[in-house]
Amino acid sequence: MGELYPFLISGGSNTERFYFTHINDTTAYKFNIRPKYFGDESSYTETFPKRIREILKANNEARIFCVFDWDTVFGNKARLKKHGNFVAQFAKEIADGTVTICPSMPCIEYWFLLHFEDYTQLLKDYPAVSNRLASYKEQLFPESSTGLKKLLKKEKFLKDSTWVENLCAEGKLDLAVERAEENIAAAVEAGKLEEQSYSYVYKVFKKDRG
């Protein structure tokens, strides 16, 4: 029986789905990816538990990464409570590494930004991140005249793998992993994680996947 690759479930339907599909197809990182595992960002606390149970019922040795944007939760008491309930449901699986929670504040595009620069100031939403990321558009989409905000959201622009290959080129993926991990560790130690942008997506790419 072959290796059981980690499963990815996400709160994003386009950007995350195409990003991880292209990572799977163009790098050494392999995942179990299915379209139904990618959906509405705002309802991840309802959909993730169903997906996790579905996966674990069929594969009791599965590893599952839950990738989602934190800006949908940040500052919203009701959604923070739902998130807490979701995490509590899978406390055992999170503790033993079966399930890994990978939020990005504010969004996965901040994870992309870390491929280009070590930036930790608090960006509260996608427009703020895309404005910062815009200066690197030529490296991602060198032949497109469309604005980056649309390029990173529309299927017709995302379905070609070239942008992910450009994103990861010249060791930038490894650099992003290093930056994300070190920045989070420093912020947690200082008790200031909530005061800056961050991304736990790096955990998907760690050798121990934890």
Confidence grade of residue 6 (pLDDT, cut at 50, 70, 90): very high
Instruction: Calculate the CA 124 to chain-centre distance.
Output: 16
Say how far apart CA 189 and CA 156 lie, in whole Å. Answer: 42
Confidence grade of residue 71 (pLDDT, cut at 50, 70, 90): very high
Say how far apart CA 161 and CA 135 lie, in whole Å. Answer: 20
Strand partners, 196: 121
pTM above 0.85, yes or no: yes
Say how far apart CA 107 and CA 129 lie, in whole Å. Answer: 8
Place of tokens 């649309």: 150
The average confidence (pLDDT) of the chain is 93
Strand partners, 198: 105
Q: Across 52-152, where does the E strand assignment appear?
A: 64-69, 99-105
Per-residue pLDDT tens over the stretch 22-67: 999 999 999 998 877 777 666 889 889 999 999 999 998 999 999 9
Per-residue pLDDT tens over the stretch 145-176: 999 999 999 999 999 999 999 999 999 999 99
Residue 5: predicted pLDDT:
94
Residue 208: predicted pLDDT:
64
Dihedral of the alpha carbons of 83, 38, 16, 198, in degrees to the nearest 10: 10
